[in-house]
Amino acid sequence: MHEGFLVHDRFKFFKWASALCITSAVAYAIYDPLDVQSGGTWLGYGLGTIGALLILWLMWFGIRKRRYGGAFRLRAWLSAHVYLGLSLIVVGTLHTGFQLGWNVHTLAYVLMMLVIASGAFGIYAYARYPRLMTENRRGQAVDEYLSQISDIDRECRQVAGNLPDEITAQVMKSCNETRIGGSCWRQLSGRDRRCASAEAFEELRQMSTNVSAGDGPAVRKLITLIGKKCSLLATVRRDIQLKALMDIWLHLHVPLSFALLAALTAHIFSVFYYW
């Protein structure tokens, strides 16, 4: 769907946004204020009004998008949301007249840019990560990988049943202490630096040089099984990482949008209060 909304109706909303940016830039170039360019000139007020209305409309889309019927209509609105949102970079910047400082006006501008940046990352995430998830899974569902991991744990317990205690302890460590998912950072990293299965795999490799001839085949089988488990774990953790990357932008985009709305309200109130 991401390609559909980006090229929707032959880039209709890209053209609209481009026209808005060009018109704003031309007006800024030819407008000759009595003082320096700023948000306090008539052009600044005009661009500010356009920007504020765009921000309110863009936030309203987030509320209304679940009510639109049909993929075509949603695609059209999403295309407008993306391109008109990006046009705020030009409209908002020209509204400031490049006059920034430590005040609520600059805070609103910075928050606007952060909202746009998080939205741009969302576009990238949904354009790239679903394909990477499909390639990573290699035609299987995550539940199938988890089922294979459970089967390996069961087989490892059976193989280790008659082996020395130190070997059995490593097998139980792999079965009982391996964690998938966890904290937000662990999900985003896609790794577990202290993975119990990886540690057990290395320990068993070292032990394999000192086991008796009778235990050798069983230990080598355990190494093969746990090595396969580590590979499956890497696939599952990569899938979790990609899902987390697809979701994290929204956890930033929405709160930043409401922070922008609050700063925008304060910005407008202060402008009219001191007018």
* Whether residue 18 sits in one domain with residue 109: yes
Q: Where are the alpha helices (DSSP H) in the chain?
A: 2-6, 8-30, 42-64, 71-96, 104-137, 142-159, 165-177, 184-189, 196-207, 216-273
Matching residue, tokens 């109706």: 9
* Whether residue 96 sits in one domain with residue 133: yes
Q: Give the CA distances from residue 247 to residues 106, 219, 233, 243, 257, in Å, rounded to whole numbers and listed in that order.
A: 28, 41, 21, 6, 16
For 230-275, the pLDDT digits (tens) are 999 999 999 999 999 999 988 999 999 999 999 999 999 998 877 6
* Whether residue 125 sits in one domain with residue 162: no
Q: Residue 211: which pLDDT band, with cuts at 50, 70 and 90?
A: confident
For 88-101, the pLDDT digits (tens) are 999 999 999 999 99
* Whether residue 256 sits in one domain with residue 126: yes
Q: Are 62 and 257 in contact (CB under 8 A)?
A: yes
* Whether residue 166 sits in one domain with residue 106: no
* Whether residue 250 sits in one domain with residue 218: no
* Whether residue 249 sits in one domain with residue 221: no
For 56-78, the pLDDT digits (tens) are 999 887 666 655 555 547 788 88
Domain encompassing residue 178: 142-243
* Whether residue 194 sits in one domain with residue 99: no
CA distance 58 to 64: 10
User: DSSP string of 45-73?
Assistant: HHHHHHHHHHHHHHHHHHHHGGG--SHHH
* Whether residue 211 sits in one domain with residue 123: no
* DSSP state for residue 97 in the 8-state scheme: T
* Whether residue 117 sits in one domain with residue 15: yes
* Whether residue 128 sits in one domain with residue 7: yes
Number of domains, the chain: 2
For 21-56, the pLDDT digits (tens) are 999 999 999 998 877 777 888 999 999 999 999 999
* Whether residue 188 sits in one domain with residue 96: no
